[in-house]
Amino acid sequence: MIFRTIMAVLATFALSLSPAVAKSKAEATATAPALPTFVDPDPTHSPEDVLLLDLSNGGRVSIRLMPQWAPNHVERIKTLAGQGFYDGVIFHRVIEGFMAQTGDPTGTGSGGSQFPDLKAEFNAMPHVRGTVSMARTSDPDSANSQFFIVFYPRFSLDKKYTVFGRVIGGMDVVDRIERGEPPANPTRILHARMATQSGTPVPQPAEPAISVSDLENSSSD
């Protein structure tokens, strides 16, 4: 009788704890909301997030900025583009089968803007063809104004560099950027601005610049 009484008390005590235990487990397994993976290829949708680069090789590159992925980095790019910071800047480091890097007004790879460096916003977005990611030094929190556009997938960079956008138009123009470190005759950004800036015509919708076969065409790690 005493044994049954003790067991009943223990069972009641356990039941009283179970909601708290369940809540604790739920809190422990809670994760941050998943980032959106869809990149809208239509530049007429949310043009305030579309960066236009007119290059000296005669073409225009349209980039969809993704504030959902890296809000502070996107805000920095928008601010610098709005100030005309990137106008005249060269692609100073362009590696065949890898990427094209720009954003340094000195053209040396060691320059930046007047703003402080950004804290890293590493995310799970992959470095596939057309990915736009922020350049930095060995310090994770050293991104400032320089960025690079990926030619071919380089997944070894994932979660080590802040991905903030994707090319949605003019990837053929990116492919024509002069190679070199630095190039002998570097390709230059003639004008960089947001699609909503005064006097800037919003580009018309076009076929997506990147196909599934492009994403799978990798000659690098």
What are the beta bridge partners of residue 25?
Answer: none
CA distances from 163 to 114, 126, 143, 151, 197 (A): 22, 8, 11, 14, 24
pLDDT tens for 6-46 read 555 555 544 444 444 444 445 545 566 788 999 999 999 99
pLDDT tens for 130-162 read 999 999 999 999 999 999 999 999 999 999 999
d(CA 130, CA 95): 14
What are the beta bridge partners of residue 102?
Answer: 147
According to CATH, the superfamily of the domain at 47-216 is Cyclophilin-like (2.40.100.10)
pLDDT tens for 98-124 read 999 999 999 999 999 999 999 999 999
DSSP structure class, residue 197: S
CA distances from 206 to 44, 82, 132 (A): 10, 25, 19
Both structure tokens of 106: 């000195």
Report the chain's mean pLDDT, rounded to a whole number: 85
d(CA 129, CA 167): 9
